[in-house]
């Protein structure tokens, strides 16, 4: 307790060096604690700089599968790590106390004793712990991936491993935004698994030519599911800007463009996505060779197999082809998806943005 008291005194004293334009988030996830620090220039235009982003390897949810609870020692460790990084955020980056948010993922929320974690975080930081539920993920993705000035005229889609999610907003009830979610039960991994199940001859399981043929045959099923998703929310088809995020889009941008742009929103062309698709299917060795000289490309190749990359890009192409008059619309890669929740929090608390949802 003496140690915590001394740290708390330091925690308070650091406020004199803080900057109101800086925000930080500490996300307690199942496999680690992620810390993000941003400096906001104009949140309405999505103009901010990432000052820091790092992960602490604390597997807090590892015991949930055993007995449904967070282990006492894991809760204690999480509390210590959160406090340590909270102090680092304040001392190194000068973030004010009220501009630091602490959240936990939906995976951690599954614990029967999550109140123990809530109490621990409150005790060591005097902060309330919020949980990011699966239901709010799409909304936070939009808020954190689209400049608020584009809310009314944009759609966001995130191609994850298990599914594809996103949505858009519309103005209802006299100038109030309402969020409309979109969800497709196919992601990079799940689509690959679905296609693999159509390969019935065991010796053909690892045959890439067979997989490509089965992937092509499965395309009508994928396109129909996407049309059903968009049909339920017809206003999504009228939006003029399309913001994309997720591993499949990150892989495309990294491998095809092979650059390290600092832009938060990178313009994309459908022609490039189609050319990339051809390389994935017919000249994959090009990217395997690139991975030998590029650290970023190596990350992609070590994260996804050729099958996964093909599946992810199939989803990307099918989604874009399902949107009418695509040539008249602008497509962007929202590269900072990992801090979308923090940007979403800043948007919610910005006095300059009155229309929240």
Tens of pLDDT, residues 54-71: 878 777 877 876 788 999
pLDDT of residue 303: 85
pLDDT given at position 357:
58
Give tens-digit pLDDT for 175-195.
Answer: 677 888 888 889 998 899 999
| DSSP E strand stretches across 269-348 | 330-334
Does residue 41 register a pLDDT over 50? Answer: yes
Q: Where are the beta strands (DSSP E) in the chain?
A: 22-28, 33-42, 47-56, 100-104, 130-131, 154-159, 164-172, 176-184, 241-246, 265-268, 330-334
Count of CB atoms situated within 10 Å of the CB of 355: 12
Confidence class for position 213, pLDDT limits 50, 70, 90: very high
* pLDDT computed for residue 3 by the predictor: 47
pLDDT reported for residue 173? 66
- By residue count, the chain amounts to 357
| Average confidence score pLDDT of the chain | 85
* DSSP 8-state assignment for residue 145: H
* CA torsion through residues 188, 194, 199, 203, sign: positive
User: 151: which DSSP letter?
Assistant: G
Q: What is the pLDDT of residue 55?
A: 78
33 or 259: which leads in pLDDT? 33
pLDDT digits (tens, 9 = 90+) for 288-347: 999 999 999 998 998 899 999 999 999 999 999 999 999 999 999 987 766 777 777 777
pLDDT more than 90, % of the chain: 50
Name the more confident of 162 and 231. Answer: 231
Bigger pLDDT: 275 or 29?
A: 275
Count Cα atoms within 13 angstroms, Cβ side, for 78.
Answer: 33
Is a pLDDT exceeding 50 seen at residue 14?
no
Q: Which two tokens stand for residue 294?
A: 């590029």
Per the CB < 8 A criterion, the answer to whether 11 and 89 are in contact is no
How confident is the model over 75-125, as pLDDT tens digits?
A: 999 999 999 999 999 999 999 999 999 998 777 888 899 999 999 999 999
pLDDT attached to residue 36: 87
Q: Which residues contact 194 (CB under 8 A, 6 or more apart)?
A: 186, 218
Does residue 276 carry a pLDDT above 90? yes
In angstroms, the CA 103 to CA 118 distance is: 10
Do residues 106 and 131 touch, judged by C-beta distance below 8 A? yes
pLDDT of residue 221: 96
The pLDDT value recorded for residue 17 is 46
Tokens of 74: 């894991």
3-state helix, strand, coil in the chain (%, to 5): 55, 20, 25
Q: Average pLDDT for residues 209-215, to the nearest whole number?
A: 96
Q: Which helix (H) or strand (E) holds 5?
A: helix 2-13
Q: Can you give the pLDDT at residue 284?
A: 97
């Amino acid at each position: 307790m003496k140690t915590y008291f001394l740290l708390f005194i330091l925690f308070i004293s650091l406020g004199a060096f803080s900057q109101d334009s800086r925000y930080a988030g500490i996300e307690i996830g199942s496999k680690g604690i992620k810390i993000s620090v941003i400096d906001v220039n104009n949140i309405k235009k999505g103009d901010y700089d990432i000052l820091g982003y790092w992960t602490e390897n604390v597997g807090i949810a590892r015991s949930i599968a055993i007995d449904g609870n967070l282990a006492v020692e894991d809760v204690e460790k999480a509390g210590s790590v959160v406090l340590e990084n909270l102090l680092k955020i304040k001392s190194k980056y000068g973030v004010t106390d009220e501009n630091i948010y602490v959240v936990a993922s939906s995976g951690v929320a599954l614990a029967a004793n999550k109140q123990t974690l809530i109490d621990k975080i409150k005790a060591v930081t005097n902060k309330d712990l919020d949980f990011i539920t699966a239901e709010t993920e799409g909304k936070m993705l939009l808020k954190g991936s689209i400049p608020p000035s584009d809310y009314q005229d944009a759609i966001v889609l995130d191609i994850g491993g298990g599914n594809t999610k996103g949505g858009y907003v519309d103005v209802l009830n006299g100038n109030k935004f309402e969020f409309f979610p979109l969800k497709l039960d196919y992601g990079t991994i799940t689509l690959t698994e679905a296609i693999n199940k159509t390969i019935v001859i065991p010796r053909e399981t690892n045959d890439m030519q067979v997989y490509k043929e089965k992937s092509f045959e499965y395309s009508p099923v994928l396109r129909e599911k996407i049309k059903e998703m968009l049909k339920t929310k017809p206003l999504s088809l009228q939006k003029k800007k399309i913001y994309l995020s997720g591993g499949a889009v990150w892989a495309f941008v990294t491998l095809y463009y092979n650059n390290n742009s600092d832009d938060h929103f990178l313009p994309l062309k459908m022609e490039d996505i189609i050319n990339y698709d051809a390389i994935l299917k017919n000249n994959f060795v090009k990217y395997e060779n690139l991975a030998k000289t590029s650290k970023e490309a190596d990350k992609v190749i070590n994260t996804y197999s050729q099958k996964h990359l093909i599946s992810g890009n199939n989803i990307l192409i099918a989604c874009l082809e399902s949107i009418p008059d695509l040539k008249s619309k602008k497509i962007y890669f929202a590269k900072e998806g990992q801090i979308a929740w923090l940007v979403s929090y800043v948007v919610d608390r910005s006095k300059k943005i009155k229309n929240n949802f």
